[in-house]
């Protein structure tokens, strides 16, 4: 017998796309329904491919609903699978754990939500498949995996688990376990959730993170979706990624070392942006553009970053109404020039002036307070990425470039 099933995780329905609302309300509205479009694409793909069943390995929701329309949307979507005769198997993760949700809605009979008190097994006799899973009772679930049952002999055994695995993938430690822990169960396939980057962790047995269904910020770039698993003669023979996202995020790094002036640089960025937009396959696209390279324009770029950012955003809108530049970052370096080439303004020695200001205790105190304020507003993962000394150096470097850019 040959059949397929779909494995998805981390739908996070109605989770806001981070940062867009703060930057542009109109753009935020265009992106707002991306998560729902991704869920609908998941349902449509499951039906169109005549999948035997759908697995959702945790975090259907992003937490308690702001209003009941979030729950009703999912019930309406999943009911289409019920009408098509396709069962669904769900575990609750850390975001939609029993303790996180104040209410729920009745699902169709074909939707199976694994209990949170202990792991349970559900058999699909027609396919000789046994699914084993457990939902999170609360947000801080540990010592969890050992409650999963032994495999059913002669059947295809699938473990459904929301886990950070060994904690090396940059996510908080939920249901921690090792690859060896999972291998010892003797299951054929582990349908995992929680890690938002898709990864085939192991092929013997198959241990798979499909990634989240919809990228939620510029830290979650590229195609997002689920995986299609093909089973033949009781063995898994293929795992194929499915791009189902309703909008996409991207990083674009542009080397502007060869640009003679700002106009040439804008043209270069626009050309590379067009290539990235084509890869999004007509999806709404949010791009973070980072300029790199050694250039005499460095100080000018830092001083005019916001104006330049607006120009680059205009280039994006020329491609499509929903091609949005999330942010322009200037990471270029200044091209060295011989001392004889310095202008009269530069002979004032900005380096000496800035060094003198930095040595002033009052200035140092203000800069330290500013750094603390900026660090406090950063998301947790970015706070870990940048140390206070990194932030101070970045502020000082930008101040130096901006002053130079203004007087040049």
Q: Is a pLDDT exceeding 50 seen at residue 94?
A: yes
Determine if the peptide bond prior to 205 is cis (ω within 30°).
yes
**Cα–Cα distance, 10 to 164 (Å, whole number):** 13
**pLDDT above 90 (res 41):** yes
**Strands 225-232, 120-124: pairing kind:** unpaired
**What is the per-residue pLDDT across 226-240, written as a single tens digit (0 to 9) for each?**
999 999 999 999 999
Phi-psi region for residue 223, left (φ > 0), alpha (ψ -120 to 50) or beta? beta
When pLDDT is cut at 50, 70 and 90, the band that residue 338 belongs to is low
3-state SS class at 192:
strand
Question: Which pLDDT value is given to residue 16?
Answer: 80
pLDDT of residue 294: 96
- Tens of pLDDT along 8-40? 999 999 988 766 765 677 777 778 899 999 999
* Angle of the 361-377 helix axis to the 350-359 helix axis, nearest 10: 90
What value, to the nearest 5°, has the Cα angle with vertex 84 and ends 231 and 38? 80
- The sign one gets for the Cα dihedral 222, 384, 210, 184 is positive
Q: State residue 27's pLDDT score.
A: 79
The residues that bridge with 132 in the sheet, in sequence order, are 121, 159
> Which has more pLDDT, 106 or 392?
106
| Helix axes 388-407 and 361-377, enclosed angle (nearest 10) | 110
Quick count: other Cβ atoms within 10 Å of Cβ 315?
18
Residue with tokens 């509205």: 29
- What mean pLDDT do residues 305-323 have? 94
Would you say residue 269 has pLDDT above 90? yes
pLDDT band at 3 (very low <50, low <70, confident <90, very high): very high
pLDDT at 239: 98
Q: What pLDDT, on a 0 to 100 scale, did the predictor assign at position 8?
A: 98
Whole-angstrom distance, CA of residue 273 vs CA of residue 287: 8
pLDDT, mean over the chain: 86
Is residue 245 helix, strand or coil?
coil
Q: CA quadruple 104, 144, 197, 200: dihedral positive or negative?
A: negative
pLDDT band at 58 (very low <50, low <70, confident <90, very high): very high
Mean pLDDT (whole number) for 86-110: 92
Contact present, 299 and 401 (Cβ < 8 Å): yes
Residues 6+ apart with CB under 8 A from 18: 216, 217, 379
The 10s digit of each residue's pLDDT in 244-256 is: 999 999 999 999 9
pLDDT mean over 297-323: 93
Q: All domains of the chain, ordered by start, with CATH?
A: 2-243 (3.60.21.10), 247-336 (no CATH), 337-408 (no CATH)
Position with higher pLDDT, 55 vs 174: 55
pLDDT of residue 381: 46
How confident is the model over 350-389, as pLDDT tens digits? Answer: 556 555 655 666 666 666 677 677 666 655 545 554 555 5
pLDDT digits (tens, 9 = 90+) for 74-86: 999 999 999 999 9
pLDDT at residue 31, rounded to an integer: 84
How much is the pLDDT for 357?
57
Q: What is the mean pLDDT of residues 85-103?
A: 91
Of the ranges 163-167, 184-188, 329-333, 397-401, which one carries the lowest mean pLDDT score? 397-401
Q: Which of 56, 63, 77, 44 is nearest to 9 (CA)?
A: 56
The string of DSSP letters for 44-81 reads HHHHHTT-S-EEEES-SBSSS-SSTHHHHHHHHHHHHH
| Nearest-5° Cα angle at 229, 227 to 230 | 150
Which residue, 151, 194, 153, is CA-closest to 171? 194
């Amino acid at each position: 017998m040959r059949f397929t099933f779909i494995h998805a995780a981390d739908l996070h329905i109605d989770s806001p796309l981070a940062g867009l609302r703060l930057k542009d309300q109109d753009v935020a509205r265009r992106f707002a329904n991306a998560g729902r479009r991704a869920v609908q694409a998941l349902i449509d793909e499951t039906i169109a491919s005549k999948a035997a069943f759908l697995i959702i390995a945790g975090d259907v929701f992003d937490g308690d609903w702001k209003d009941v329309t979030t729950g009703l949307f999912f019930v309406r979507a999943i009911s289409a699978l019920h009408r098509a005769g396709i069962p669904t198997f769900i575990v609750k993760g850390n975001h939609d754990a029993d303790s996180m949700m104040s209410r729920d809605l009745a699902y169709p009979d074909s939707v199976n939500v694994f209990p949170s008190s202990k792991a349970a097994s559900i058999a699909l006799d027609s396919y000789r498949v046994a699914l084993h899973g457990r939902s999170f009772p609360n947000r801080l679930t540990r010592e969890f995996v050992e409650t999963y049952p032994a495999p059913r002999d002669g059947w295809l055994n699938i473990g459904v688990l929301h886990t950070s695995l060994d904690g090396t993938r940059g996510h908080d430690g939920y249901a921690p376990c090792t690859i060896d822990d999972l291998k010892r169960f003797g299951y054929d396939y582990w349908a995992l959730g929680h890690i938002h980057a898709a990864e085939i962790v192991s092929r013997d047995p198959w241990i798979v993170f499909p990634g989240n269904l919809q990228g939620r910020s510029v830290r979650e770039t590229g195609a997002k979706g689920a995986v299609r698993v093909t089973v033949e003669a009781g063995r898994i023979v293929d795992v194929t990624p499915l791009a189902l996202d309703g909008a996409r995020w991207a990083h674009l790094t542009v080397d502007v070392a060869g640009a003679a002036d700002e106009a040439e640089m804008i043209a270069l960025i626009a050309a590379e942006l067009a290539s990235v937009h084509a890869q999004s396959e007509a999806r709404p696209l949010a791009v973070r553009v980072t300029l790199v390279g050694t250039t005499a324009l460095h100080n000018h770029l830092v001083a005019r970053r916001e104006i330049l950012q607006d120009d680059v955003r205009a280039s994006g809108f020329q491609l499509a109404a929903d091609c949005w530049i999330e942010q322009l970052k200037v990471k270029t370096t200044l091209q060295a020039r011989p001392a004889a080439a310095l202008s009269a303004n530069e002979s004032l020695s900005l380096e000496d002036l800035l060094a003198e200001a930095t040595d002033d205790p009052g200035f140092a105190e203000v800069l330290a307070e500013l750094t603390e304020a900026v660090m406090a507003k950063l998301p947790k993962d970015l706070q870990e990425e940048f140390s206070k000394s990194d932030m101070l150096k970045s502020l000082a470097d930008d101040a130096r470039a901006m002053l130079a850019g203004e007087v040049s």
